Amino acid sequence: MKLYNTLTRKIENFEPQDAERVKVYTCGPTVYSFAHIGNFTCYVYWDLLVRTLKQQGYNVDRILNITDVGHLTSDADDGEDKMEKGAKREGKTVWEVAEMYMNDFLKNFRALNMVEPSKICRATDYVKEDMALVDALDKKGFLYDTTDGLYYDTSKFPTYADFAHLDLEHLKAGARVEFSSEKRNVSDFAVWKWIRDGEDHAMKWEYRGRMGYPGWHIECATIIHEELGEPIDIHCGGIDHIPIHHTNEIAQLEGAYGKQMSKFWLHNNFITIEGQKISKSLGNVYMFDDLAERGYTHMDYKMWVLQGHFQSERNFSFEDLAAAKQRLLNYRNFAALRWQKDATDLSETKTAMMAQLENNLNSAGALAELDKVMSKNVPDEKFVQFLDEIFGLGITESTPDISKELKAKIAERVDAKKAKDFAKADQLRDEIAREGITLLDSADGTIWQYA
Ligand code: AMP
Ligand code: ZN
């Protein structure tokens, strides 16, 4: 398979280190508010990645983390803690807030019919292990203490700027005055935050005899080290994570333990809504409930995402969502055909679709291959199962075979037509339509479809 690797800025041939265990890590959500539809695009792309690898015969060990601690509103270690902000807004404890939004996230994740990760890891379950990573970094001389926390001296990690192609000199010149003059370099970041005298923090742990909490970039490094072991095969996240979050993950894990973090890095681009950035002030922060109110399901949305590419900036519109909904309905009707006529062997189409997906996850290309054969062929069970496995759109689950009574009625109508009793044929067609089934007459006979 070919994948665009952010590490090398090239499309490269992907081979896992061990086919029995392809190690995949995807940065997860910060659970301090409801996730909007933009937040979910990446999980659809990564689900396609997992499904493609599985289809190729690999065993995929995929970890998803849940950030339920210590993520500040700014990547730069200042600003409010996102969890505390959510708790204040809701009049709840940070733990209750985390629980509620995590459950809501997982509900949507599962409604999108994603392959269940091998493990979902909460950051708060790895704080002891974070401390071990901080100790390892300290031992190697990467850290310095400040009143705000233990900071990583990025000048001691010579390749710090490489991953994101950062221009540190330029950064320095453009830097605003940070929280404290104690910071040695503008790119230095907190691996552990102290709770200062007179301050409090809802989530806190004792470390080195003081109370504090982990910096937000450390959990992914820790969880990868504990659960998968570096180097992993593929690390995924949003493009916004390249310059700070992922750069800092690498500096911590590779600095502490000396091994490469990941062989491949995949980054998804952002979506805009009706041409605008997603923002509260524009009133376009759509959740799945908002889509449901307009008659769209999670699967309609997933269909829309799969029509595009993870590296492309995409524009979402309800017009396009309506088109995606129709396309999905066409696939369901196509899948339902497998009960009624002689099926065509579509294994060549399957091969062509896989070739598209193995070309840097070109799902739009794979769907185009499917469209080429759809109107002229009847799929067999095997092909339809493949479609469900590769896209996870649930096209078979939602199209149960029709009842024997309905089938008998369809046969009765065919006979009526043959006997030129068109009044009876039309009456039967109306009765069948009331059951939600449309009939299509063609030279080859009559085909039924879900309306
Ligand atoms: P936030 O909680 O706002 O930091 O968002 C969490 C992650 O969701 C971000 O780090 C992005 O990778 C992703 N994300 C946010 N907005 C969008 C968007 N409009 N399109 C795609 N991904 C997004
Ligand atoms: Zn991460």
pLDDT digits (tens, 9 = 90+) for 408-435: 999 999 999 999 999 999 999 999 999 8
For ligand 1, whether the C-beta of 33 sits within 6 Å is no
Q: Is residue 309 domain-resident?
A: yes
Are residues 43 and 66 part of one domain?
Answer: yes
Look at 91-95, 275-279, 330-334 and tell me which has the smallest mean pLDDT: 91-95
Are residues 264 and 280 part of one domain?
Answer: no
Are residues 322 and 294 part of one domain?
Answer: yes
Q: What is the mean pLDDT of residues 121-149?
A: 97
Reply yes or no on whether the pLDDT at 74 is more than 70: no
Are residues 238 and 106 part of one domain?
Answer: yes
Reply yes or no on whether the pLDDT at 280 is more than 50: yes
Q: Among the three residues 225, 246, 268, which one is the final residue of a domain in this structure? A: 268
Q: ω before 231 within 30° of 0 (cis)?
A: yes
Q: How confident is the model at residue 172 (pLDDT cuts 50, 70, 90)?
A: low
Are residues 410 and 357 part of one domain?
Answer: no
What DSSP designation does 83 have? H
CB within 8 Å of 387: residues ≥ 6 apart: 331, 335, 370, 379, 393, 395, 396
How many folded domains does the chain comprise? 3
Cα of 246 vs centre of ligand 2, distance in Å, is 6
Q: What is the mean pLDDT of residues 337-341?
A: 78
pTM of the predicted model as reported, rounded to 2 decimal places = 0.90
Reply yes or no on whether the pLDDT at 34 is more than 80: yes
Structural domain boundaries enclosing 436? 404-450
In this predicted model, what pLDDT tens digit does every residue of 235-272 receive, in sequence order? Answer: 999 999 999 999 999 999 999 999 999 999 999 999 99
For ligand 1, whether the C-beta of 323 sits within 6 Å is no
Q: Among the three residues 391, 416, 437, which one is the final residue of a domain in this structure? A: 391
Collect residues with CB below 5 Å from ion ligand 2. 27, 220
What per-residue confidence (pLDDT) applies to 179?
53
Q: Is residue 2 domain-resident?
A: no
Q: Is residue 360 domain-resident?
A: yes
Are residues 282 and 260 part of one domain?
Answer: no
The amino acid present at 103, given as its one-letter code, is N
Radius of gyration of the chain (CA): 26
Are residues 197 and 253 part of one domain?
Answer: yes
Q: Is residue 398 domain-resident?
A: no
Q: Is residue 9 domain-resident?
A: no
Q: How far apart are CA 273 and CA 268, in angstroms?
A: 16
Are residues 369 and 428 part of one domain?
Answer: no
Q: Among the three residues 222, 243, 268, which one is the final residue of a domain in this structure? A: 268
Are residues 374 and 335 part of one domain?
Answer: yes
Are residues 165 and 241 part of one domain?
Answer: yes
Are residues 374 and 256 part of one domain?
Answer: no
The CATH number that applies at residue 126 is 3.40.50.620
Are residues 58 and 89 part of one domain?
Answer: yes
Q: Is residue 151 domain-resident?
A: yes
For ligand 1, whether the C-beta of 86 sits within 6 Å is no
Q: Is residue 1 domain-resident?
A: no
Task: Output the six-digit token pair for 328.
Answer: 């999905």
For ligand 1, whether the C-beta of 278 sits within 6 Å is yes
> What 3-state DSSP class applies to 383?
helix
